[in-house]
Amino acid sequence: MATPAPGATPAEAHATVPDSLTQVFRLSRYQLREYLFSRRFLVLVAVVATIGGIITAIVGHYRGALVSDNLAFYGSFWGGGADVVIVLAAVFFGGDAIAGEFQNKTGYFLMGLPVRRAAVYAGKYVAAFVASVAVLVLFLLILLGNGLYYFGTGAVPWQLGVSLLLAVVYLLAVLGATFLFSSLFKTSAYGFVLTAVLFLFGFTILQALVADLVKMEPWMVISYASPVIGNVFAPNASWALTGTITDVRAGPGGPVLSQVYTPGILEGVVIMLAYFLLTAIAGLLLFEREEFA
- Residue (1 or 250) nearer to another protein, CB: 1
Which H/E stretch holds residue 258? strand 256-262
Which H/E stretch holds residue 262? strand 256-262
The dihedrals phi and psi of 112, each to the nearest 5 degrees, come to -80, -5
CB 247, min distance to another protein, A: 56
Rounded to an integer, what is the distance from CA 221 to the centroid of its chain? Answer: 15
**Which of helix, strand or coil describes residue 135?**
helix
Which H/E stretch holds residue 259? strand 256-262
* Torsion angle of C-alpha atoms 93, 48, 270, 279, degrees rounded to 10: -20
CB 101, min distance to another protein, A: 10
Asked if residue 11 binds another protein (CB under 8 A), the reply is yes
- Residue (10 or 64) nearer to another protein, CB: 10
User: Which segment (18-26, 57-65, 198-206, 208-216) binds another protein by CB under 8 A?
Assistant: 18-26
Asked if residue 187 binds another protein (CB under 8 A), the reply is no
Residues between 37 and 76 with contacts to another protein, criterion CB under 8 A: 37-38
Residues between 80 and 109 with contacts to another protein, criterion CB under 8 A: 104-109
User: Which segment (30-38, 240-248, 265-273, 277-285) binds another protein by CB under 8 A?
Assistant: 30-38
Give the interface with another protein as residue ranges (CB under 8 A): 1-3, 5-9, 11-18, 20, 23, 26-27, 30, 34, 37-38, 104-109, 111-117, 289, 291-293
